[in-house]
Amino acid sequence: MRAAIFLLAFTLSFGLTSPVLTSAAIEAVKGKEYSLTTKHGPWMVMVAVFSEPPAELKGDGIGPEEAASELVYELRQKGIPAYTYRRDQKFESIQTTNRLNQNETRQYKLDSEICVLAGNYSSVEGEDSLGKRTLDWLKRYKPKCLEQGGIYKPTPGQPGPLSGAFLTVNPMLDPAEVKRRQRDPQIIRYNSHCEFSLLDNPGKYTVVVASFYGNSTTQVGDDAPDENKLGGGGLDLAGDQAWQVMRALRERGLESYVFHDRRKSIVTVGAFNNPDDPGVQTILKKFSANWKYDPATGQNQILAQSLPLPSQNGQWLCTFDPKPQIMEVPYKNHD
């Protein structure tokens, strides 16, 4: 006899018509395992927790793993990225009093649980945020897979199996990681009206080929001046220069993007789902500094790649970063 499912807690909500949760199609393959990783989130909805029922409640029905898998599959069919996460078995201690009125410590075992979490939200601020709209939908959603047998233990005051859904952070992330992946409203504003913004890059990784700080054409790495503040004339110039370089690279057939933050503007090339993609190495090689003959010194030197571009005063020279760097696309959610 297989153990019936025993739902201890729930945390996802969807309405009669699923909200649009993502612009890209969500993969839904029956029987495939979609495990939670540190790439997901950082904010998510806790949908349900499955565990083995007490011995007296065991009977016909699907087990916790299968129940979680079926729920993940059903949610993914609705366009909602859902995942499973196992909370391992652990032991807890409690203080008790025995028949002789003596204090003693006893241990009891908490069995492992299979959690279902869903959604990849960079922020849950605002009443109309995607995370909160999804949560509201999930609270009213009644999964068909939970009607196919097993035992559902209703919670008083909760009309449906998922009405206890709630927003939470990815349990695999530490607070520092959550903060790093939190969308910064200022950064979003800086890039919201930018043509070919890096935020629109369809990949998960790209390669930084040029960095612009303040009034200089290019500065690299730790040499960037910290005193520059976004919004000043210097950084406006840096943004304009980055945009010109991005456009010039696109005219040369390269998939290029631009990104602005509080200190600099950068130009990147490529959209990759894996940092080991062969195309990454092609870009790194193309833009890296290499040995060239320097007519000023009459000797071979390691020189950065450069690109002359038109300006109001004639021409300016863009100097690319001597050592291009692979970077994750900011705030990218992973299915």
The model's pLDDT over 298-330, given as tens digits with 9 standing for 90+, comes to 888 888 899 999 887 788 999 999 999 999 998
- Residues of the chain below pLDDT 70: 1-24, 53-61, 88-111, 126-128, 148-158, 181, 214-234, 332-335
pLDDT in the model for residue 297: 81
pLDDT in the model for residue 326: 96
pLDDT in the model for residue 319: 93
| pTM of the shown model | 0.53
pLDDT in the model for residue 110: 52
Each residue's pLDDT tens digit, 215-239: 544 433 344 444 334 444 467 889 9
Strands (E), the chain: 6-10, 43-51, 82-87, 90-97, 103-110, 113-121, 166-169, 205-212, 256-260, 265-272, 290-294, 299-303, 306-311, 314-319, 325-328
